[in-house]
Every structure is written in structure tokens, then in C-alpha cells.
Amino acid sequence: MAIDFGERIGQWMSGAGRDSDVVISSRVRLARNIAGHRFMSRASLEERRELAAKLHQAVLAAHVAPSVRYADLEALPEVDRAMLAERHLISREHAEAEGPRGVAFSEEETVSVMVNEEDHLRMQVLHGGLDLENTWSEMQGVDRAIEREVPYAFDSQFGYLTACPTNVGTGLRVSVMLHLPALAMTRELQRVFNAAAKIDFIVRGLYGEGTQGHGDFFQISNQKSLGRSEREIIGSLEVVIPQIIRYERRVRDGLIGEHRRQVEDRVWRAQGILLSARVISSEEALHLLSQLRLGINIGIIKEYDIPLVHRLFMLSRPAHLQKLEGAELDALARDAARADFLRRSLTAPRGKA
């Protein structure tokens, strides 16, 4: 069994949506466990297998989206699992784990439901741009649809019970992925981190905990899921995110006004390197494409558009690249293939996506 997305990317990476010059995507995630079953860490292999089968059926029966596909991760090659993680359809932990587990996801990749992750169910809705309201409302629909199929573990005092105490209560994690190249360039990110920390939100890199803000991409998400209602959690993000957006835009304007030459230098160098290099690491690709994205957003680069850049972000990730090449490649070969792929994609037809 294998999965092939070809050169398609998820709707949330389309570059569309409100405030998409700064906001890549809005994400809501719920953690749920099934009543009458042990948490994953305590469940036997047999129970986990039983859970996987039951939840596979339940999630499909719930019809959470018009067209839903289920991938049995136990049967899926490593590169395919890594690809699903790169698409943010599953967590890296879920990709790398062992045992009976899976994921259901909609064709547009806006909805995904992980089965037998840290919790029995981890569901997410993911949309491009700043769209917490609709994302949350769609998440509620998914949650209710699945609850009709399986009984959730719920405590009237604590709320939804979860494997890790940080998820108890609402089981909710809301996060917004931001592109903050101007704030990164002027070293003013610390202020953003502080503002987020004040309302108990945390800033992470592109691929969650422990990853740096590669390519100036940052995820802001709530730390606590207990003691505040879903509306309160989303409400405080809806206050702080527009402030960060305005801040990033103001600094971009300032850079263009007062340091145009330096900004142009960075943007054109990035394009020059993308069009010339023969070896590009995954991390450097993020960085270069980030500069290109900034260049397009502030009007320096007119030859490419955001959807193309987003497609390259995704397709140049290690697993995607190997799927495109149709071969397992070591790190050196990947860096060479990545440089060739990026150069080719930006050279001919040298056009917009």
C-alpha cells in the first residue's frame, strides 16, 4: 500500500484566505478518548488493534467530509508516513510510532482524524489564512459526527479525559501558523513571543514542539486546555493574532521604506540561489522560499506567485521529494535532487503556478 498525492497540496497551503500575506493557516485540534477503553499507553497490543479497527469504521461511518480516505499507518511505507506528516495530516510522532494506528483525511486535506495517536482520537481541521471561526465550527461538526458513532471518555468535573494532563478539559489546541520574515529580520520576534506568553500561548516552529522557526514560520498555540472554555481560548487568539499581523506588516513597510536596498538584496539573493544552487538542504530551502514569499508579498518579485511558492515548500520536503523522484535517497542525494527540483520549477516555464 502506498499513497500518491502527485504535485497536489492541501487546501490549507493554497495561499488563499484572509490575511494570507502573514497567516499561512488556522488549525483546531481536539483530543478524544473512547469510554470503556484504556489510554494508549496502558492498552495491550490486542486492545489497540481492536480500537484501531473500531475507530477506522467509526470515523468512516461519521462522514466527516464528502470524501474521506483512511490510511492504515501500520501497513504504509515509512516515506509515505513521513509525507503525511509533512502535509500536517498526522503528527511526526504518529508517523514514527509502531503498532495499529491510522488516519482518516478529507480529499481537500482540511479534515484529518488520527486513530491511536497519544489519544485514541486526535482530530483536526486546518484552513488557509486566518479563519478560526469557521475552522472551529467545522471542528465541532466533525466532533459531533464522530461522537454519534463512539462514546467519548468524559468527566463532569475535568471535561474530556486525555492521556496527557495538558490536554484534559476541552482537549482543544488552536494554532495559527504565521510567516514573520520582517520581524525575524529585525530581531523583534521576542516581543511576539512575550505577547503570546502573556495569554498562555506558546510559539513553536513549523513542525511543532522542539523545532525552530525555520524559514521564519511560527505556530502560535494555546498551552492549556483546562480551565478555559473553547470560546475563551479561540477568543484570545482572535485578539492577539491581528496585533501580530499588524506588527509584521508595519515592520515590512518600514523595511521597504527605509531599507529597501537591503530587503531587495535578501530577496534577490534568495531567488538567485534558488535558480543556481546544485545542493540545497531542507532547512535552506525553507529559508530561501521564505525570502521569496516575502518578496512576492511586498511586490519586489512579480514573476512568481504565492501558490507556486507554497507548492515548492511542500514538494521540496524530504519525503515529498523522494516520492516525486520515486526513490529512496540519502541526505546528500536529497539535497542535490531538491536543488534540481527547485531550479527546474522556478526556471521553466518560469511562470506562476
Min dist CB 285 to its own copies, Å, is: 14
Q: Note whether 174 binds its own copies by CB under 8 A.
A: no
Q: Measured from the CB atom, is 41 or 276 closer to its own copies?
A: 276
C-alpha cell at 218: 511560527
Q: How far is the CB of 260 from its own copies (least distance, A)?
A: 9
Chain positions 227 to 266 lying near its own copies, rule: CB under 8 A, are 261-262, 264-265
Measured between alpha carbons, how far is 199 from 197 in angstroms, rounded to an integer?
5
As measured in angstroms, the least distance from the Cβ of 274 to its own copies is 8
Site for its own copies in 262-281 (CB under 8 A): 262, 264-265, 268-269, 271-273, 275-279
Could you tell me which residues come within 8 angstroms of residue 263 by beta carbon, excluding any fewer than 6 positions away?
A: 185, 255, 256, 294, 298, 300
Minimum distance between the CB of residue 295 and its own copies, rounded to whole angstroms?
11
State which residue, 3 or 336, has the beta carbon closest to its own copies.
Answer: 336
Which of 182, 339, 342, 346 is close enough to bind its own copies by CB under 8 A?
A: 339
Nearest distance from residue 286's CB to its own copies, in Å? Answer: 17
Verify binding: residue 183, its own copies, rule CB under 8 A. no
336 contacts its own copies (rule: CB under 8 A): yes
C-alpha cell at 61: 461511518
Which of residues 74 and 264 has its CB atom nearest to its own copies in the complex? 264
| Total site size for its own copies, rule CB under 8 A | 16
Q: How far apart are CA 338 and CA 162, in angstroms?
A: 40
H-state helical runs in the chain: 45-61, 78-86, 92-96, 132-147, 181-185, 189-198, 230-258, 260-274, 282-297, 306-315, 318-325, 331-347
Please, what is the minimum distance in Å from the beta carbon of residue 319 to its own copies?
A: 22
Q: What is the 3-state secondary structure (H, E, C) of 103-140?
A: EEEECCCCEEEEECCCCCEEEEEEEECCCHHHHHHHHH
Q: Would you call 317 helix, strand, or coil by DSSP?
A: coil
Cβ-contact 152, 37 below 8 angstroms? no
The three-point CA angle 156-158-163 to 5° equals: 125
Q: Contact, 142 vs 64, CB < 8 A? A: yes
Residues that bind its own copies (CB under 8 A): 261-262, 264-265, 268-269, 271-273, 275-279, 336, 339
